[in-house]
């Protein structure tokens, strides 16, 4: 069975074809600048890259070009779309409606629409991708996989904010959490790697990329996570501030005479590594600047390290301990320095890192010292594989 995985943004469309017989990736593609001059499609098949530039005014045209590239006799991977059994779509916000991945039908589309107020930037783009695919592949079964659904198991004491309860009851303002497919994948994979059953483990997963979130996975289910109503909450990120005192916003807005939209733009796009270091939103640049003596870059790194440590200790406290800590995503997989800084000085919790084993990038590895009571793992994430597996499972039930 071959599955097409689609992740649509407002002006982009990422796709992958996976062969589920061995879960291998046959093709990866990225279409950028949809509806903007200079649209282009880049596709990689077995290390060979293919790129075309041509105008694509909307997601429907982009989907048609994706099909054309995938079935291209020279650069493609399939003879025709008949080879594709189903399509899995990434959807950012499933609200409280979706606790698992779901087959896409009219009711599902309406429910994704009804969650637009909670994710005004992401859900409309994801919907455009779904609608475009339905138009160009009307007969394919399609599945929606939500970033939020893994976290729907959180108890109210984890997901409620301290507002008057009516804001939850009337507006559904609560913690939803994101990166659910990643936290789900790496926690499960971590348990498998150790030859253990998820139901016997208290796992803390650290997804550290441009956007970062930490998750407490108790006996296989998410019981708390650092991102909130939106992906702005939690630790310091590439351009996002992470958690701040909300009253600080009023202080800044009044003194600089800016409105809430501008304030949120600052919090989402100009803060985090970029804002604090003044160097870059990219971890590699910040690490390099810190090495060269840039104090602002160093303090940005220290803030991230401190933030992660605090979540690890807090989540261990709510789970009554921790058995496994997993690092994943761009920074988590590739920065031994960051992992060492986070895990150092935590011996009081039974956490002890092996500095030699920790010298690893992007590879499943146990980096715990012999005497570490807590297992420390690097597990590269694979969100596309989760989407493909869920799609396969739901579509197989149709047969």
Residues forming contacts to ligand ADP in the complex (CB under 6 A) are 209-211, 238, 282-284, 329-331, 334-335, 361
Structure-token pair, residue 122: 């992401």
Nearest to 80 by CA among 63, 95, 92, 67: 67
Distance in angstroms (rounded) separating the CA atoms of residues 115 and 126: 12
* Residue of 58, 147, 323, 390 marked active site: 147
8 A C-beta contact, residue 21 and residue 1:
yes
Residue 279 φ/ψ, nearest 5 degrees: -105, -60
Measured from the CB of residue 320, what is the shortest distance to ligand ADP in angstroms?
30
* Residue 329 or 388 with smaller CB distance to ligand ADP: 329
Residue with tokens 């020279």: 74
* Residue 284 or 373 with smaller CB distance to ligand ADP: 284
Distance in angstroms (rounded) separating the CA atoms of residues 32 and 210: 19
Residue with tokens 């399609």: 142
Distance in angstroms (rounded) separating the CA atoms of residues 34 and 207: 29
Pure H helices in the chain = 59-70, 106-114, 122-136, 156-159, 166-171, 180-193, 246-256, 260-269, 272-277, 283-291, 295-319, 329-334, 336-343, 383-398
* Residue 191 or 304 with smaller CB distance to ligand ADP: 304
Measured from the CB of residue 7, what is the shortest distance to ligand ADP in angstroms?
11
8 A C-beta contact, residue 75 and residue 147:
no
Instruction: Give the three-class secondary structure for 373.
Output: coil
* Residue 41 or 283 with smaller CB distance to ligand ADP: 283
* Residue 142 or 329 with smaller CB distance to ligand ADP: 329
Measured from the CB of residue 98, what is the shortest distance to ligand ADP in angstroms?
22
Q: Is the dihedral of CA 251, 252, 256, 262 positive or negative?
A: negative
Measured from the CB of residue 273, what is the shortest distance to ligand ADP in angstroms?
7
Measured from the CB of residue 279, what is the shortest distance to ligand ADP in angstroms?
12
Measured from the CB of residue 76, what is the shortest distance to ligand ADP in angstroms?
26
Query: Which residue number places its CB atom closest to ligand ADP?
Result: 330
Pairing state between β 202-208 and 324-328: parallel
Nearest to 45 by CA among 79, 81, 69: 69
**Does the annotation count 147 as an active-site position?**
yes
* Residue 12 or 85 with smaller CB distance to ligand ADP: 12
Distance in angstroms (rounded) separating the CA atoms of residues 67 and 300: 43
Determine the distance from the C-alpha atom of residue 399 to the mean position of all C-alpha atoms in its chain, rounded to a whole number: 31
DSSP class of 153: G
How many Cβ atoms from other residues are within 10 Å of residue 278's Cβ?
Answer: 13
8 A C-beta contact, residue 351 and residue 341:
no
Measured from the CB of residue 333, what is the shortest distance to ligand ADP in angstroms?
8
* Residue 128 or 227 with smaller CB distance to ligand ADP: 227
* Residue 65 or 226 with smaller CB distance to ligand ADP: 226
Residues designated as active site: 147
């Amino acid at each position: 069975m071959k599955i097409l995985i689609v992740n649509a943004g407002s002006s982009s469309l990422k796709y992958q074809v996976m062969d589920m017989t061995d879960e291998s990736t046959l093709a990866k593609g990225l279409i950028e600048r949809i509806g903007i001059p200079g649209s282009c499609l880049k596709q990689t098949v077995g290390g060979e890259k293919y790129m075309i530039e041509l105008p694509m005014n909307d997601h429907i045209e982009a989907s048609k070009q994706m099909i054309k590239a995938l079935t291209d006799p020279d650069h493609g991977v399939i003879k025709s779309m008949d080879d594709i059994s189903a399509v899995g779509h990434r959807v950012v916000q499933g609200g409280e409606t979706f606790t698992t991945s779901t087959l896409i039908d009219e009711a599902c589309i309406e429910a994704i629409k009804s969650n637009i107020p909670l994710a005004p930037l992401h859900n409309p783009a994801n919907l455009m991708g779904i609608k475009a695919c339905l138009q160009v592949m009307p007969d394919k079964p399609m599945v929606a996989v939500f970033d939020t659904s893994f976290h729907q198991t959180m108890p109210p004491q984890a997901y409620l904010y301290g507002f008057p309860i009516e804001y939850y009851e009337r507006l559904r303002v609560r913690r939803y959490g994101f990166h659910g497919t990643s936290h789900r994948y790496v926690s499960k994979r971590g348990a498998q790697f150790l030859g253990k059953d998820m139901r016997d483990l208290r796992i803390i997963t650290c997804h550290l990329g441009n956007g970062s979130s930490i998750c407490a996975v108790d006996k296989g289910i998410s019981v708390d996570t650092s991102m909130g109503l939106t992906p702005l909450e939690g630790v310091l990120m590439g351009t996002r501030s992470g958690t701040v005192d909300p009253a600080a916003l009023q202080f800044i807005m009044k003194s600089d005479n800016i409105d809430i939209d501008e304030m949120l733009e600052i919090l989402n796009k100009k803060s985090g590594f970029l804002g604090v270091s003044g160097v870059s939103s990219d971890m590699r640049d910040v690490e390099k600047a810190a090495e060269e003596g840039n104090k602002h870059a160093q303090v940005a790194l220290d803030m991230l390290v401190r933030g992660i440590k605090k979540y690890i200790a807090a989540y261990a406290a709510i789970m009554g301990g921790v058995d496994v800590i997993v690092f994943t995503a761009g920074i988590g997989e590739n920065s031994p320095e960051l992992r060492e800084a986070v895990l150092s000085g935590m011996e009081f919790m039974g956490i002890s890192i092996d500095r030699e084993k920790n010298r690893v990038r992007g590879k499943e590895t146990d980096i715990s010292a012999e005497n570490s009571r807590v297992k420390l793992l690097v597990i590269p994430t694979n969100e596309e594989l989760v989407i493909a597996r869920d799609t396969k499972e739901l579509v197989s039930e149709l047969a």
